[in-house]
Amino acid sequence: MKDKINHNDPAKNMCPHTGNGGEPQYQADDSVPNLTTQQGVVISDNQNSLKAGPRGPALLEDFVLREKITHFDHERIPERIVHARGTGAHGYFELTESLEKYTTAKILTETGKQTPLFTRFSTVAGNKGSKDTPRDVRGFAVKIYTEEGNWDIVGNNMPIFFIQDAMKFPDFVHAVKPEPDRGFPQAASAHDTFWDFVSLTPETMHNLIWLMSDRAIPRSLRMMEGFGIHSYRLINAEGKSTFVRFHWKPKLGVQSLTWDEAVKISGADPDYNRRDLFESIQAGDYPEWEFGVQLFTEEEAAEFPFDHLDATKLIPEELVPVKIVGKMVLNRYPDNFFAETEQVAFCPSHLPPGIDFSNDPLLQGRLFSYLDTQLKRLGGPNFAQIPINAPKCPFANNQQDGHMQMHVPKGRTLYEPQSLEPNKPRANYKQGFKSFNEQLDDGVKGRVRAESFADHYSQPRMFYRSQTPAEQAHIATAYAFELGKVETAHVRTRTLSHLLNIDEDLAKRVADALGMDLPEAAKPAAPIVDMPESPAVQTIGLSPKTLKGRQVGILVGAGSKKASIEKFENAVKAAGGSVKIVAPSIEVKLDDGTTIQADERVAGAPSVLFDAVVSIIMPDVAKKLAKDSSTLDWFNDAFNHCKAIAYCGATDEFILSKLPVEKDEFVTPLDELDAFIENAKTRLWEREPKVRDLA
């Protein structure tokens, strides 16, 4: 049979199943822009390829099809070798206190001015499609488009790094990435190669204990600190240098997930942190950080009981306070994920005049690596012309050609010195970037490591001892979890030998949890110093009692009381929190006959996605839900994760009574609204040892 075909009106040949509600997406008037090829030729039919007859072979001459498929075939670029999984947002930087005494950089001397920036947060080990909530360091990279050139503060959410010398970076990354023979585990440090490497490399011990702490599973990207890590220099008008470490302090304080939550969230919502950033910006609840600096002189640094050029060492805030001098606000989610978040290229060597590097050997290695990796990832030397990377101040140079050159340089000369075009750009000694004139020792060339870098245990010891009991239990439990995944016995034993140098009690707790005997302590290369405790490195201690940035899940069902739902919703919102309605169905008829639309079905929104939960359901609904395992998990998990629960009579009678949920002060009846609101601002950590076998 021959199909009928209409050659004049492609809309008539379209599949009725494509397009909007069966209507073909066919442009019949001028109300929307024309779809065109890359060459600007208007496309007449975006549904059918050019064929020899309706059932016949496709024709090679179909440039519309070829162009569309070819572009599609080339959509992917290599993902970042580390920090592949990330999300970002636009915002601004504003200085509140001038650092004129220390630097000439206008971004740090001109107060009250809003300078645009782009910030990208990332996990380190996982690939681009991995989950948001692994136990991992988070990248915290900020590109500030200053009027004196881009300034990239490419930092992490922990103030130190695993290694001291760039030479070890490929080894470290190969050890944490999926094992090369089997191709797993993805986005996880809990495997043999990682623990093999770190237990053979004691300089990793400090960052390792941060990785085992609550800091490695942030509740929200808005609730993480950021650190530039390395010491940098600020240079003032007299050419004098002051060392500086950069800090970002979140307005919402530092808050973390529990490990069990993180594991469950990775199934329930692998985009958990990314979605939170998106939703908070869409809601106008803009993420904000204070910008702070630790300033110290060369002479002061000489008195520190550690070497500040060693990136495995933090400078306790109690020793050098963080001076708050500005803020960052993120107020616009990208229009296009690929064009902006994926193509943004950070590099620690992007600095404006007035800021300079220190001799930290890790930093020095990074200054090479980032440009090198962008060349591969973004395909050539012109990536700085991509809008997200281009400076917003005037720029001009003699660079030419290369893949994807977007500029059209004018004139005869692209070299210097030249005498043919007097108005072409020249270097400017007065305004230009100048390196600090550091007087160097007459060092001897060699592959060496400074002796002042040899102490690997004093700071992790200080970190552990500064934590609250709940956090210490989390740390010990995290070591036990991770080492429990390590198959090779001597790797576990070697790790315990290091833990003994950090804290005996920690080592014992981990060994007991694993059922192992304690080995001899590893031999330290330098004396271990008992440093004063530093509360600034806690997590729980930095979590404010607030509902701001926190979300409450309200479980409702057919016949639920609208007035009660509204009462809770309003109270949560008044306290700065947000609400999601969860129900067995998406459309829910309430007691007054109105129908509301739930945000999620209960099976799709386990309570791990919320900071506190409320249940307002009728007896017949409760009876039915009592047989539903996802509903039972909803309450059980909320309880096990130390959250506040507000329950109605039916929930109590048919659901809570079946569960090991104790009526402690965080489990309250619906009429105790004020108590619930207070409880929802925090967690009841004292409950934790009752519901979990912590190490």
Catalytic residue set: 83, 156
Assess 127 for contact with ligand HDE (CB under 6 A). no
CB 456 within 8 A of CB 525: yes
Please identify, using beta-carbon distances, which residue of 169 and 436 lies nearer to ligand HDE.
Answer: 169
Member of 64, 90, 117, 120 binding ligand HDE (CB under 6 A): 120
Structure tokens at 134: 């692994």
Member of 27, 186, 266, 369 binding ligand HDE (CB under 6 A): 369
CB of 168 to ligand HDE, least distance (A): 8
CB of 429 to ligand HDE, least distance (A): 31
CB of 90 to ligand HDE, least distance (A): 14
Q: How far is residue 141 from each of residues 138, 212, 247, 288, 378, measured CA to CA in Å? A: 10, 22, 12, 15, 18
Q: Which residue's Cβ lies closest to ligand HDE?
A: 139
Assess 546 for contact with ligand HDE (CB under 6 A). no
Nearest to 116 by CA among 335, 288, 291, 328: 328
User: Phi and psi for 325 in degrees, rounded to 5?
Assistant: -130, 5
CB of 139 to ligand HDE, least distance (A): 3
Does the annotation place 135 within a ligand binding site?
no
Structure tokens at 612: 């506190």
Helix (H) or strand (E) holding 93: strand 86-95
Q: Which range of residues in 358-366, 539-547, 590-598, 671-679 is near ligand HDE by CB under 6 A?
A: 358-366
For Cα atoms 94, 98, 100, give the angle at the middle one, nearest 5 degrees: 135
Assess 126 for contact with ligand HDE (CB under 6 A). no
Please identify, using beta-carbon distances, which residue of 368 and 433 lies nearer to ligand HDE.
Answer: 368
Does the annotation place 169 within a ligand binding site?
yes
**Helix and strand element counts for the chain (H, E):** 18, 18
How many residues bind ligand HDE, per CB under 6 A? 25
* Window 22-61: contact mask with ligand HDE (x via CB under 6 A): ----------------------------------------
Distance CA 249, CA 289 (A): 5
Please identify, using beta-carbon distances, which residue of 229 and 588 lies nearer to ligand HDE.
Answer: 229
Does the annotation place 219 within a ligand binding site?
no
CB of 88 to ligand HDE, least distance (A): 7
* Window 295-314: contact mask with ligand HDE (x via CB under 6 A): ----------------x---
Tell me the residue ranges of DSSP E strands in 190-336: 226-227, 232-235, 241-250, 288-296, 323-332
Kindly identify the residues of this chain, within the stretch 66-95, that bind ligand HDE according to CB under 6 A. 80-83, 86
Q: Using only C-alpha atoms, what is the Rg of the chain?
A: 29
Member of 24, 134, 139, 584 binding ligand HDE (CB under 6 A): 139
Assess 287 for contact with ligand HDE (CB under 6 A). no
Does the annotation place 377 within a ligand binding site?
yes
Please identify, using beta-carbon distances, which residue of 141 and 650 lies nearer to ligand HDE.
Answer: 141
Assess 370 for contact with ligand HDE (CB under 6 A). yes
Assess 610 for contact with ligand HDE (CB under 6 A). no
Does the annotation place 601 within a ligand binding site?
no
Stated length of the chain: 695
CB 331 within 8 A of CB 353: no
Please identify, using beta-carbon distances, which residue of 108 and 362 lies nearer to ligand HDE.
Answer: 362
427: which strand partners? Answer: none
What is the DSSP secondary-structure string of 384-443?
Answer: GGSTTTS-SS---------TT------SS--SSS-SS-TTS----TTTS-----PPPP-P
Member of 135, 219, 366, 492 binding ligand HDE (CB under 6 A): 366
In angstroms, the first-to-last Cα distance of the chain is 75
Cα dihedral sign, 512-514-520-523: negative
Member of 93, 346, 568, 634 binding ligand HDE (CB under 6 A): 346
Assess 246 for contact with ligand HDE (CB under 6 A). no
Assess 334 for contact with ligand HDE (CB under 6 A). no
Assess 133 for contact with ligand HDE (CB under 6 A). no
Assess 229 for contact with ligand HDE (CB under 6 A). yes
Structure tokens at 597: 């639309």
Type of residue at 189: S
Tell me the residue ranges of DSSP E strands in 551-622: 551-556, 578-583, 587-589, 595-597, 600-601, 612-616
Distance CA 687, CA 471 (A): 14
What is the DSSP secondary-structure string of 493-519?
Answer: HHHHHHHHHH-HHHHHHHHHHHT----
Assess 156 for contact with ligand HDE (CB under 6 A). yes
Q: How far is CA 101 from the centre of its chain?
A: 33
Please identify, using beta-carbon distances, which residue of 364 and 497 lies nearer to ligand HDE.
Answer: 364
Does the annotation place 80 within a ligand binding site?
yes
Member of 64, 89, 141, 144 binding ligand HDE (CB under 6 A): 141
Type of residue at 250: P
Please identify, using beta-carbon distances, which residue of 81 and 404 lies nearer to ligand HDE.
Answer: 81
Assess 154 for contact with ligand HDE (CB under 6 A). yes
Binding residues vs ligand HDE (CB under 6 A): 80-83, 86, 120, 122, 139, 141, 154-156, 161, 166, 169, 229, 311, 346, 362, 365-366, 369-370, 373-374
- Binding-site residue numbers are 80, 120, 169, 366, 370, 377
- Binding-site residue numbers for heme are 80, 120, 169, 366, 370, 377
